[in-house]
Structures are given as C-alpha cells and as structure tokens.
Chains A and B, each alone.
Chain A
Amino acid sequence: EVQLVESGGGLVQPGGSLRLSCAASGFTFSSYSMNWVRQAPGKGLEWVASINEDATEEYYVDSVKGRFTISRDNAKNSLYLQMNSLRADDTAVYYCARYSGSFHCFDDWGQGTLVTVSS
C-alpha cells in the first residue's frame, strides 16, 4: 500500500523558514516524480513544485520561485520542501503527491501538514 506521510509543518513568523518532509513507502520511490501541492484556508488546491525521479529537474509555481526548494533523497525514500522568506499567503496545508506517468496526474497523496505564517 502506498503511503506518503508529511511532517515539519507548524507556526512560523513572516520572513522565517521551515523544512517539510515526506516519507514514502509501499512503492519504488526512485521511479516516480514527486510534487508538493498546497491548499490555503478556504481556497482551492495549488501545485507548488515538482522534482523528477533522479532530482535533475525541478519546477516551481511563480509565486515560490527563489524562496522554496524541492529536493529528494532516494536512499531514504524521502521528499523535502525547504521554504524560506515565508509570507502570510504561504499559509496552507501542504500535501506530498506522487506523479503517475501512466495516468498523467497525481495518483497518491499524503494527509498533509499545516504551515501557518503569522506574527
């Protein structure tokens, strides 16, 4: 059974940093592109970042470019999101999502971790 478990969320002040982690199990992690998707309170989902299987390609939504960095450790079956210069509008539940090349979409998701940016 595929499992994606996020951690690292919490309360942080504007301008601060946070590192999210996603522990993957139940599949060959190194064979899949991985993503972060977020949902702000009362809003829809927003794709944040993607990283390919061997971490040679990264993609970001414009609003986080230069502030967030996606990375992975295939030996540890883990995905990360380093978030710097956090702003109030980064407040959201952050989901780790697996990309399926067969389905051309995100076929498995974690439960999410809440990030709150507030003074």
Chain B
Amino acid sequence: QSALTQPRSVSGSPGQSVTISCTGASSDVGGYDYVSWYQHHPGKVPKLVIYDVSQRPSGVPVRFSGSKSGTTASLTISGLQAEDEAHYFCCSFAGSLWLFGGGTKLTVL
C-alpha cells in the first residue's frame, strides 16, 4: 500500500489558521476512524496531537483540531503561534499495517 498523501509545505502568519490534508484510500483513512497526527520538531521526539480523527490528548491546546471526510483527513491549527512551526505527519490504520503521510512542513511567517 502507498503512503498517505500530504502537501509538502504550508504556511501562515501568527494568529491565522492553517489546514493540512492527508489523503488515503477506502482501505485506510476511509475505512477506519483511527487517524492520528504528530508534531515533529527536528531533533526532538514526535508528539501526538490528534488521535481517532478528532480527539486531543490531554495537554494539547484546543487550537489543534482534526476531521475527516471520505478518504481525506485534515488537521487544522488555529491561532498560529511561532512554536507551531514543525513537521506534521498523519497516520492511519490500514487493516494489518499502519500508513504514514510524507509529512508537511509548517512555516509560521
């Protein structure tokens, strides 16, 4: 199975909102509500920010939200802050394996 498709980069100014898409297939994103999103600052440990499509772990700001429509999941970050600048990866269960997206570099202008 192929990796999930994410835009290579997105950008936004402080205070704005950005949305990162994650497109898969009916056998992964479209077939299960087990989509998660990770924030990864270079040299640091990946951090879970969204699980089960739209759930936030404790400690993750409410500015982070997730959704899904068909075979595309989305991560929206509202009220952008400088510390949000990082790489973001989506992940989906695909039956007997896990698929990740190629990653999106978020730049806060």
A103-B91 in contact (CB<8A): no
Could you give, for residues 82-109 of chain A, a 1 whenever the CB lies within 8 Å of some chain B CB and a 0 otherwise? Answer: 0000000000000100001001111111
B18 at the interface (CB under 8 A from A): no
A111 at the interface (CB under 8 A from B): yes
Closest to A47 in B: B98
Could you give, for residues 1-18 of chain B, a 1 whenever the CB lies within 8 Å of some chain A CB and a 0 otherwise? Answer: 001001000000000000
Count residues of chain A with CB under 8 A from any CB of chain B. 21
A66 at the interface (CB under 8 A from B): no
The size class of the interface chain B forms with chain A is 20 to 34
Minimum CB–CB distance from A95 to chain B (whole Å) comes to: 7
Could you give, for residues 24-53 of chain A, a 1 whenever the CB lies within 8 Å of some chain B CB and a 0 otherwise? Answer: 000000000001010000011111001000
B45: A residues at CB distance < 8 A: 108-111
- Of B6, B36, B45, B55, most buried by chain A (CB within 10 Å of CB) is B45
B51-A107 in contact (CB<8A): yes
B69 at the interface (CB under 8 A from A): no
Complex Cα distance, B38 from A50, in Å, reads 19
Closest to B92 in A: A105
B97-A47 in contact (CB<8A): yes
A105: B residues at CB distance < 8 A: 34, 36, 48, 51-52, 91
Which 6 interchain pairs have the tightest Cβ spacing? A105-B36, A44-B102, A45-B100, A47-B98, A103-B51, A104-B34
A-B contact pairs, 26 of them (CB 8 A): A35-B98, A43-B102, A44-B103, A45-B38, A45-B91, A45-B100, A45-B101, A47-B91, A47-B97, A47-B99, A103-B48, A103-B51, A103-B55, A103-B57, A104-B34, A104-B36, A105-B91, A106-B46, A106-B91, A106-B98, A107-B48, A107-B57, A108-B48, A109-B45, A110-B45, A111-B45
